[in-house]
């Protein structure tokens, strides 16, 4: 992304759900301050780790960046692994409201009761909500209580149809880099590099200030067990690597569904990979 931005004279907008948090530097592979200044990185270090910085807030902030760039004739390279955050910027996503009081009440309610409430209002809810997933059931009931809209009604809206059809609200060109079977080795090597760079010390210092969202970050979640519960570091390391591989697989599946993304192979030589990406971009209107 930085190589492409350098060639294009562009800025970079990070679509990483955890790089938004200040202090979470090593474990999110956050660019160093000099690199962030060189490329005018956006949406890095915009929230405290205690914050519940959600995708709707990210969307609002990111849209402001993109609107300003468009008005000034600047190019933006959007880069990162969070598919939801990426699509929130380029597709007509609408995030239903949330309410801390309602959520607290729902979290204290048995999920079977919530499931019954949802099905009473929307007997066809199972077609659009994973009723075996308590978190999704809770969220569906929260939206139902706050808006009166059932899952079926929301799924049948024109906006939802445009999202399902990958009809963008902003024009863009997308390139995906496919690492092939190298990904597992790269994940393991990178996590060990993070540990060598002081990731455990970073997690130890942040532990008292990590909110609910930040505590779920892969790598941080496993090392918090070391800091707070005395888990052996070797066991936490192995689980973090497995969790990262699982996350990468989910991300790859998510992005592979998007027909607008052109895929190029990963190369050890950055220039060769960059040339492939720019060749894919040639002739397009971003």
In tens digits, the chain (286 residues) has pLDDT values of 898 899 889 999 999 999 999 999 999 999 999 999 999 999 999 999 999 899 999 999 999 999 999 999 999 999 999 999 999 999 999 999 999 999 999 999 999 999 999 999 999 999 999 999 999 999 999 999 999 999 999 999 999 999 999 999 999 999 998 888 889 999 999 999 999 999 999 999 999 999 999 999 999 999 999 999 999 999 999 999 999 999 999 999 999 999 999 998 887 676 777 777 777 776 554 4
Interatomic CA distance for residues 205 and 222, integer angstroms: 15
Which of 214, 223, 196, 251 has its CA nearest to residue 45?
Answer: 214
**CA 81-84-86 angle, 5° bins:** 65
pLDDT given at position 282: 66
Q: What is the pLDDT of residue 279?
A: 75
* pLDDT for res 274: 75
Predicted structure pTM score: 0.88
pLDDT at 264: 85
Confidence at residue 265, expressed as pLDDT on a 0 to 100 scale: 82
Q: Which single residue is written with the structure tokens 């090392």?
A: 223
> What is the model's pLDDT at position 101?
95
pLDDT of residue 255: 96
Residues 6+ apart with CB under 8 A from 167: 91, 92
């Amino acid at each position: 992304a930085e190589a492409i931005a350098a060639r294009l004279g562009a800025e970079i907008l990070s679509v990483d759900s955890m790089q938004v948090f200040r202090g979470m530097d090593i474990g999110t592979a956050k660019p160093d301050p000099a690199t962030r200044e060189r490329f005018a990185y956006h949406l890095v270090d915009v929230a405290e780790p205690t914050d519940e910085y959600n995708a709707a807030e990210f969307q609002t902030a990111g849209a402001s960046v993109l609107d300003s760039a468009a008005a000034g004739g600047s190019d933006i390279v959007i880069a990162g692994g969070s598919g939801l955050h990426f699509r929130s910027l380029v597709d007509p996503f609408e995030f239903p409201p949330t309410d801390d009081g309602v959520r607290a009440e729902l979290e204290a309610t048995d999920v079977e009761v919530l499931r019954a409430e949802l099905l009473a209002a929307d007997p066809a809810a199972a077609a659009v909500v994973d009723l075996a997933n308590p978190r999704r059931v809770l969220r569906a009931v929260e939206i139902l209580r706050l808006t009166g809209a059932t899952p079926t009604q929301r799924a049948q809206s024109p906006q939802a149809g445009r999202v399902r059809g990958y009809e963008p609200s902003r024009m863009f060109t997308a390139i995906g880099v496919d690492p092939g079977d190298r990904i597992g080795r790269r994940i393991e090597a990178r996590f060990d590099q993070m540990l060598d760079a002081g990731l455990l010390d970073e997690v130890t210092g942040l532990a008292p200030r990590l909110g609910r969202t930040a505590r779920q970050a892969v790598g941080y979640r496993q090392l918090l067990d070391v800091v707070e519960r005395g888990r052996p570091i070797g066991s936490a390391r192995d689980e973090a690597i497995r969790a990262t591989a699982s996350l990468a697989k989910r991300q790859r599946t998510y992005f592979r569904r998007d027909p607008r993304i052109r895929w190029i192979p990963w190369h050890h030589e950055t220039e060769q990979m960059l040339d492939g990406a720019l060749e894919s971009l040639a002739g397009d209107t971003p």
